Amino acid sequence: MNPIEIILEHPGPWLAWIIPILGAIMMPILGKINHKLRDYGAVFFAFLALVSCISMIPYLNAEHALGDIKLITWMTLPNGTPLEFGVLVDPLSILICNVVAFISFLIIVYSTSYMHGDPHMDRYWFLFLYFIGSMLLLVLADNLVMTLIGWEGVGLCSYGLIGYYYRDAKERWLGGPPPTKMYPPSHAGMKAFVVTGIGDVFILASIFILYQYAGTFNYAELIKHSEEWLSHMAAVPGLISIMAIFLLGGPIGKSAQFPLHEWLPEAMAGPTSVSALIHAATMVKAGVYLVARMSPIFYIGTWNLHLPEAQVYFIAIACIGAFTAFLAASQALVALELKKVLAYSTVSQIGYMMLGLGLSGLSEGAFVAGLTSGIFHLVSHALFKAALFLCAGSVIHSVETIYMSNMGGLGKYMPITKILMLLSTLSLAGIPPFSGFWSKDSIFIAGLIVGTPLAMVLYLVAAISAALTLIYSIRYIWMVFYGDKSKFIKDLEHHGHHVHEASKTMWIPIAILVIVMSGVSLLGLVGQAIPSLNPEIFIEHQIDVTLENLHVELHPTHVEGTTKLLAYASSATIILVGGIIGWLFYWTRKINSWEFVTKNKILKPIHSFLWNRWFLNDLYYLIFVQGILALGKVIFDLFEVKIMIPISDYVAGMSQKISKVTYSNIEEGIIFGKINTSFPKLILSVYQNFRKTQTGLLSINIVYIMILFAAMMIWMIYFGGL
């Protein structure tokens, strides 16, 4: 079959990412024709991408699974292995791409109102649609090279979208409030590009190592032949561990996990719709998807080949995920910017996803449970976090401030937004029966299934992080929608600006997200009695089918009822502890949180530590920015000034002296004095002597002719011709 026939036979996996990219290219053209045509066109292209993804849902049935569809061969690599262009259509990719397309479409609809009147919408829509297309390509790619193309497309577009307000108008800066340092949007975009690029270098190195031993970039082939090439790789001590760490470098950077997490809080510099896109279903989820996609290789290495080095993959990402969940949750406790609180929350929640994926390899029987928990929380988080960011955008759009301390009492002005944000927050905080409770609980269950000392420590860290999540959730909801109006809002009203509810175009997409989230929540509750309706069971089945199609042999552990009860008890304890603290400090204000902290000699430095982001951001700037600049100055002062410049001056002086000697002796003495005068004299002498032979007499000329004729005859006699 030729490529066109292959695409026409199964158009969904191809059109899902081709259409948004074509739409991105069309945006400047449509913008020249008509602005409304361009805006509606963006919505239309996003809708077609969603329809294409939905068309793949029937393939979730194992009997109709498409698997790896190869379109063309790009090139034949040096060892004779073909690099092919194809898509991998299995339950994992179908599930993720539908989440991406659905949420991206709703955010685009929201953007038509939120970004209304912006003079640079051609650029906005181009980057937005190209971002969506790149993310869907990343998810559907059947090999690591295609994944990297989508991966870098997402990174490039995120740079443009985060730094969208690149002219750096003062009202677009974030951080603060003063005297805390603030950052312009262009700086934030560059920071995201550089930090995620560091992770990309690591993943590129791991891909080179993989190819050297496996001879292929294709996911299905990598997994199918993993026992062979992992055995060869194991012959080099430490190589599997290095490859695993390098491979995780990309996801750690893209998904903003420690230590490459500091770019995400500044990513709030872009429009809120961009924040929702990056933080909900796309860029930061790319790392989670790749970790899940590659995990069967290391599961086989750990439990089939019994290679301890292969388990480094799971241990590393589980520890990083748990620590990041706690780190970011603690920072969210003190942040004053509404979007930054949600940004820290995203970093923390992705930590939970990474923890679930890491737990999957710490026990042979926990693989499916761990993968299921990570993917389930990805889906759940995508729904409620997209809704939260869009609600935050509506609030900021209405009150014209990013600081929660300038809000307060907005519930009576924005009742719809308040209800939608409250419901989404209940899911974020893990309150039953909302979806966040079921997905977080599945991670706790995975930890209990593993049951090792390490798993229990990680379980405890995750539980503490969940309590912190509930506390900061209560804090931001109260500061935004409850309590008294701030002086800032009173001043706004005094100057004729009245806080109002968001437009229908903005709150309807949020309502759809909340309705879907509530549906998942309800199914989670009903699923406790009717397992066939349980979304966790559904995702678990899809993971089973995915691994079965990839021929991964599994030995799952049966989850006992007591294990679930213990997880539920842990969640109840978390809710009780976090709820009481949040209730006392924020909801009822029986304890003034600021006075409580500032008057305590222990809590005050802790607050400063958290406010300054554990000083990690300052440390990174000190080492990698000021440090490099300082090193450059030292090199200039010590090497350039004291060594290179004197050498240059000496060489320049010597060159000047040599040139003077050369000029006086060679130029003047030989070339000018001898050659330039002697050669013309020689030519003139030859000319004068030769012209004497030209008498002009016919008899003399005849003699010359006879001499030439005689010479020619002699030549012909001795050499046989001219």
Last residue of a domain, one of 575, 591, 611: 611
Q: Are residues 427 and 518 in the same domain?
A: yes
Name, in order, each residue with C-beta under 8 angstroms of 416's C-beta and a sequence gap of 6 or more.
501, 502, 507, 511
Last residue of a domain, one of 559, 577, 611: 611
Q: Considering the domain boundaries, does residue 124 fall inside one? A: no
Instruction: Read off the pTM.
Output: 0.88
Q: Considering the domain boundaries, does residue 137 fall inside one? A: no
Last residue of a domain, one of 582, 611, 640: 611
Kindly report, residue by residue over 86-132, the tens digit of the pLDDT.
999 999 999 999 999 999 999 999 999 999 889 999 999 999 999 99
Q: Are residues 716 and 643 in the same domain?
A: no
Q: Are residues 453 and 538 in the same domain?
A: yes
Q: Considering the domain boundaries, does residue 132 fall inside one? A: no
Q: Are residues 412 and 504 in the same domain?
A: yes
Kindly report, residue by residue over 501-539, the tens digit of the pLDDT.
989 999 999 999 999 999 999 999 999 999 989 999 999
pLDDT-derived band of residue 722, with 50, 70 and 90 as boundaries? very low
Query: Tokens 């809590």 belong to which residue?
Result: 603
Choose between 497 and 249: higher pLDDT.
249
Q: Are residues 392 and 298 in the same domain?
A: yes
Give the count of beta carbons closer than 10 Å to the beta carbon of residue 324: 28
H or E stretch covering 686:
helix 676-691
First to last CA, the chain: 70
Q: Considering the domain boundaries, does residue 158 fall inside one? A: no
Alpha carbons 56 and 89: distance in angstroms, whole number: 8
Kindly report, residue by residue over 575-620, the tens digit of the pLDDT.
999 999 999 998 888 888 888 888 888 999 999 999 999 999 999 9
Give yes or no for a contact between 420 and 387, defined as CB atoms under 8 angstroms apart.
yes
Report the number of distinct structural domains present in the chain: 3
Q: Are residues 318 and 344 in the same domain?
A: yes
According to DSSP, the β-strands at 67-76 and 174-175 are unpaired
Q: Are residues 570 and 638 in the same domain?
A: no
Q: Are residues 352 and 215 in the same domain?
A: yes
Q: What is the mean pLDDT of residues 15-19?
A: 96
Q: Are residues 559 and 418 in the same domain?
A: yes
Range with top average pLDDT, 67-76, 220-229, 638-647:
220-229
Q: Considering the domain boundaries, does residue 118 fall inside one? A: no
Q: Considering the domain boundaries, does residue 67 fall inside one? A: no
Q: Are residues 552 and 668 in the same domain?
A: no
Alpha carbons 222 and 219: distance in angstroms, whole number: 5
pLDDT at 720 over 70: no
Six-digit token string for 112 = 């038509």
The whole domain housing 622 covers 617-690
Q: Are residues 679 and 697 in the same domain?
A: no
Kindly report, residue by residue over 273-309, the tens digit of the pLDDT.
998 888 776 788 999 999 999 999 999 999 999 999 9
State residue 255's pLDDT score: 92
Query: Tokens 């509606």 belong to which residue?
Result: 40
Mean pLDDT of the chain: 90
Q: Are residues 559 and 636 in the same domain?
A: no
Q: Considering the domain boundaries, does residue 499 fall inside one? A: yes
State residue 496's pLDDT score: 79
State residue 671's pLDDT score: 76
pLDDT at 679 over 80: no
Q: Considering the domain boundaries, does residue 210 fall inside one? A: yes
State residue 230's pLDDT score: 95
